[in-house]
Structure 1
């Protein structure tokens, strides 16, 4: 169900999308598949709510954002279960992520009370110049599938704290925690201040980004998506905030503590099945430690337990979808075919779900796509 103007409602078309459990491939939910009509309703609601929400006091916004933080904190067990089910993250290792989610709202709630202007000096006789920060209007927030709730809070929190209204579109792959967030927010914010539209990026997301009454778009996603959104937003000069993917390098010098390096890489590189823009997935090592590091890292990665996210001993769950599984497999296969040495992993895990074995490649070509 979408959440628009304080109400949960199906898509106008009646169409739905399936939501899958990546650990099994099974359907776990049917959710609204929104189109332009639903996006229009959400933006209209947010536009109307902006006239009063933008005039609320910092104290009022502080109190409501703090109340949402309290509601999330009281619902953490359920939210973690939904994240493990819908994203495939091992339940045993996601506590810190959800602690940060609560803290995000607390931080931005407090920030709402420190929004001040600044005198800029006398530039004309008998005039005083100053800077004043005013809310923009309706903010379109598009959250990714790798951190669906946490990244949503980074978008919603500052927008609401500064007097803007929000239309959130989560990834069609991972909408469950966003739906729960809307349920928690329903009794806290006035109707229209926070809205949720569900659906595909190519339809729902595109309609939201192109909407003439949206003042700014905030998106976390891949570079290709970011380019399309920036191009669409330029048609009516929307402001755009882009947080896009990357390939994070780690440089290991000859005097490094190899044991500490291996421990850190084995944990950080494969957290969330490596689906993280900050995952240290490229290791550049000095000649004095290269062979030792490759051998030890291979052993550590081979020892990682892969499987059911609800198993307390599992360190690595599935990737998010069959498409992602195929994409990873293709990149590894092409790297090996081009001469990279595969020291562990490198295969789709047999059985149900979208699993790929944790993998180490040594000496891939520097111009390889996987690098």
Structure 2
């Protein structure tokens, strides 16, 4: 098989990590008879600082025929985050109807959690985050700016179709895992949107009688991800809540540098997009010490989404083997001193 991948290295450590990772992806794909064509797009804040745009007006038209998208990172300390987010990441997620954001959190063998008493495999859950509406719908506005009576309104939008899509995806995942689903809301305070969410979960649950359903308010869920992360299996949440909870999940399982994610178009009508959770990490840009594993694992999720399970499994296994080896090089976020390239080389050696 042959695939065309739109590659957006983006900002900060994104280009560094993507540059080091692409040869590895070519290598593992070729070993399984898969041909990869990566086309790079220089979209991001450097382009914004030069042109006033994160990406061109016809950006989605340029990449709509790609089989998938691999993104490095988005964000720059000199550009406000809402500009970078709304200028690149959200237009791709919404324009390609990538309704499902899937983010696994795993405590790997050889990695130490900051939480006391947890060992390899104790933490292993996946968050299904609604990805195109909710609190990130960009519905609202500001009026009377600069005056004492200035008003800002930000509205969350939850559609039945969008909510059912993410909830069903989470239920399907729970049937393939340990059969436990936790729905995260704030229904006590958000009496319209979140009670609607609860209703949709309640309507769909009977279709999956083997899945045990738990419902938590987001503040309690945040506490419990620290207090009892080993008891979670599949979590489903709105856009904002899922965004916050997955950062907690990444940290309790060892490092943001190990957290992959996929933005999935469930109908395969448009390309899906895969990216590390860690962001652009401006504090370590140019030092060559960014952890490439989140990008490698995001690529593994991409291969799985493309139906290339053997390639995906090879990448997951190689990363696990490096982490489990006390003598293998790891980057500073995991307590080592290795460079990005040294870690990529170690992964390749274990393919």
TM-score (norm 2): 0.23
Higher-Rg structure is 1
Give the structure, 1 or 2, with the largest relative contact order (CA under 8 Å, sep 6 or more): 2
TM-score (norm 1): 0.22
